[in-house]
Structure 1
Amino acid sequence: METGTHVLMGVALGSLASLDPAIAHDPLLSRAVLIGTLAGSQAPDIDTILKLHNNAKYIRNHRGITHSIPSVILWPLLIVGVMTAVYPETDWFRVWLWTFIAVAFHVFVDIFNAYGTQALRPFTKKWIALGVVHTFDPIIFVLHLLGIGGLLLGAHPGYTFFTIYVIIAAYYVLRFRQQANIKQLVRSTIDGVTEIITVPTWRPREWHLAISTSDEFYVARIKRGRLLILDRFQKRPLPDHPVMNAAKRDENVAAFLSFSPVYRWEMNEYDDHYEVRFTDLRYRSKGYYSFVAVVQLDRNLNIVSSYTGWIFSEGRLRKKLELAPN
C-alpha cells in the first residue's frame, strides 16, 4: 500500500491494542504502543530513500530486503531499542509485540497489490504479488478514515477498528472472487492461456491484465465485467546478440529484468548508435506503457545513456535519456 494507508493502519493497530485491558488502562503504555505501531507500519518502506540514488537501485531493492523475514524480526527490536532510550519505563514486551504486528502487517498487506514484495527472502527472491487491490485502494483508505472519525466522536478504539477490519477482510474476499471470475473469463475467451497477471486500478470494477500464452502476450482491460483486448504481441526470447548482451549489462536494464515478469523488447539501429528498449506489459495508461528500461549504445557497444522507471510520454523519456550520465 502507499504511505498514507500505512500510516492509517498504524493508527488502526494502535487502536486495536486497546482490546488488551493492560494497555487500555495504562495511558503511558497505550501511547508507547501507538508510537510503536506507527513506526512499525512505516519502517519497511525506509528503502524508498534509494530513489535519491537512482531508479535502478530503487527498483532492484524496494520491497526487497526491508520486507524480508529477517527484517520483520529486526525492525521491531530496533524500534523498541530506540524507544527504551528515550521513553519512560513501561511494559516493553507489549510494545514490542504490537510493533512486530505492525511491521508484519505492513509486509502482509503489500503482497496483495500488483507490485508485491520479496517477503520470503532469504529463502527465495521471488516477487509475491497477488494483484487483488490497487496500491492505493480508496475503499480501504476511506474505511480507515471512518474509523478515525469514530474515535474523534468517542467510539471505543478497539471495537471500532475490529469492526472496520472485519469489513476489510470481507472486501478482500470479494476482490479474490472478482479476480477468479476475471481469470475464468480470460481463459474462456483466449485459447492456451499460461499466465494471467491482474493489475487492479483504484476503480473497483476496472482491472488491467497482462496475459501470456505459449507464443503471445495479450494486454487487456476489464471494465464493468467486459474483457477488452488492447494489444497483442508475439513472444520473442532475448537474442544472443552483441548489442543485446551489452545492453543487459547496464544497471538500469538489469534492474528492470530483475523486477518485470512480463515484457517485450525492441532493438533498433541508427546512424551513430543502437537503442534497446524493454517495456513492462503490466502498466498501460491512456495507450502508453509507463514502465520501461531504455539503453543507448555507441557503435563500439559502449553505453551512452540509459534509463529505467515510470514515464508517461515519449518526450519525457527522451529528456531523461539526454540527462542521463554518459
Structure 2
Amino acid sequence: MDTATHVVMGIALGGAATLDPVIGSDPAASHAVMAAVLLGSQAPDLDTILKLRNNAVYIRNHRGITHSMPAVLIWSVLITALIYFLFPGVDLLHLGIWTFIAVALHVFVDIFNAYGTQALRPFSHKWIALGLINTFDPIIFSIHALAIAIWVFGAPQGYTFAIMFAVLAGYYVVRYIMNKKIVHEIKERFNNVTGIIISPTLRFRSWHLAVTTESHFYVARHVKGVLTVLDEFDRVPVPQTEMIKAAEEDHNISAFLSFSPVYRWEVEEFSDHYEVRFIDLRYRSKGYYPFVAIVQLDSSLKIVSSYTGWIFSEEKLRKKLHIIPD
C-alpha cells in the first residue's frame, strides 16, 4: 500500500489496541503503543531510500528482505526497544505484541496488490502478489478516514476501529470474489492459459490484465464486467545468443528480469551498436508500456549504456540517459 494508507492503518491499529485492557487502562501505554504501531506501519518501506542509489537496486530489493519473515521480527524488536526506552515502565510484552501486529499487518496488506512482496524469504524468493487491491485504494483510505473522524468527534476508539477492521475484512472478501470471477472469465475466453496477472486500478470495477497462453501474450482490461483485449503478442522465447547473454549480464537488465513475471523482448541492430529491450506487459498507459529495461552494446558486445525503470517517451529516455541515438 502507499505511505498515506499505512499511516491511517497505523492510527487505526493504535486505536484498536485500547481494547487490550493492559493498554486501554494506562494512558502512557496507550501513547507508547500508538507511537510504536505508527513506526511499525512504516518501517518495512524504509527500503524506499534505495531509489536514491539507482533504479536497479530499488527494483531488485524493494519489498524484498525488509518485508521478509526475519525482518518482521527484527523491526518489531527494534521498534519495541526504542519505544520502551522513551516510555519506560509500560508493559513490555503487550507493547511488543502490538508492534509486531503493526509490522506484520504492513507486510500482509502489501501482498494483496499487484506489486506484491517477498514475504516468504528466506524460504522462498517468489513474489507474492494477489492482485486484489490497488497500491492506493480510495475506498480503503476513505473507510480509515471516516473511522478516524468518528473517533475525533467522540466515539470510543477501540470499538470504532474494531468495527472498521471488520468492514475492511468484508471489503477484501468482495475484492477476492471479483478477482476470481475475472480469472474464470479469462480461462473461458482464452485457450491454454498458463498465467494470469490481474492489476487493480483506482476504479472499483476496472482492472488491468496480462494473460499468458502457450503461444501468446494478451494485454487486456476488465471494466464494468466487460473484458476487452488491447494488445496481442506472439510468445517468443528469449534466444540465448551471445548478444542476449551479454545483455543479461547488465545490472539493469538482470534487476528487471528478477522482478518482472511477464514481458516481451526486442533486439535492434544499428550500424555501430545493438539494442536489447525488455518490456513489462503488466503496465499499459495510453497505449504505451512505460516499465522497461534497455541496454546498448557496441559491435564487440560490450555494454555501453543501460537503464531500467519507468519512462513514458523515447525522447525522454534517450535525452535523460545520453544513450546512443538510433
**TM-score under structure 2 length normalisation:** 0.97
> Does the residue aligned with 1:236 lie in a helix, a strand or coil?
coil
2:200 corresponding residue in structure 1 = 200
One-letter amino acid of the counterpart of residue 297, structure 1: L
Gap change, CA 1:27 and 1:256, over 3 Å in 2: same
1:157-306 matched pairs, under 5 angstroms? 157-306=157-306
1:8-157 matched pairs, under 5 angstroms? 8-157=8-157
> Does the residue aligned with 1:23 lie in a helix, a strand or coil?
helix
One-letter amino acid of the counterpart of residue 2, structure 1: D
Give 1:315 shift.
2.1
> Does the residue aligned with 1:127 lie in a helix, a strand or coil?
coil
Contact 2:22–2:94 (8 Å) recurs in 1: no
Q: Distance in 2 between matches of 1:315 and 1:165?
A: 47
> Does the residue aligned with 2:322 lie in a helix, a strand or coil?
helix
Deviation digits for residues 82-131 of structure 1, max 9, x if unmatched?
A: 22333332112111110000000000000000000000000000000000
Give 1:45 shift.
0.4
Deviation digits for residues 159-186 of structure 1, max 9, x if unmatched?
A: 1111111111111111111111111111
Give 1:323 shift.
7.1
Contact 1:14–1:37 (8 Å) recurs in 2: yes
**Percent of paired sites with the same residue:** 59
> Does the residue aligned with 2:42 lie in a helix, a strand or coil?
helix
Deviation digits for residues 195-254 of structure 1, max 9, x if unmatched?
A: 111000010111000001111100000011111100111111111211111100000000
Task: Report how many residues are paired.
Answer: 324
Contact 2:28–2:87 (8 Å) recurs in 1: no
Contact 1:29–1:95 (8 Å) recurs in 2: yes
- Hey, which bits of structure 1, 4+ residues long, moved more than 6 A? none
> Does the residue aligned with 1:218 lie in a helix, a strand or coil?
strand
**CA-atom RMSD in angstroms:** 1.2
Give 1:25 shift.
1.8
Give 1:258 shift.
0.2
Contact 1:307–1:320 (8 Å) recurs in 2: no
**TM-score under structure 1 length normalisation:** 0.97
One-letter amino acid of the counterpart of residue 134, structure 2: H
One-letter amino acid of the counterpart of residue 300, structure 2: N
Unaligned runs of 5+ in 2: none
> Does the residue aligned with 1:300 lie in a helix, a strand or coil?
coil
Give 1:316 shift.
2.0
Unaligned runs of 5+ in 1: none
Contact 1:266–1:277 (8 Å) recurs in 2: yes
Deviation digits for residues 234-289 of structure 1, max 9, x if unmatched?
A: 11111121111110000000000000000000010111111111001001111111
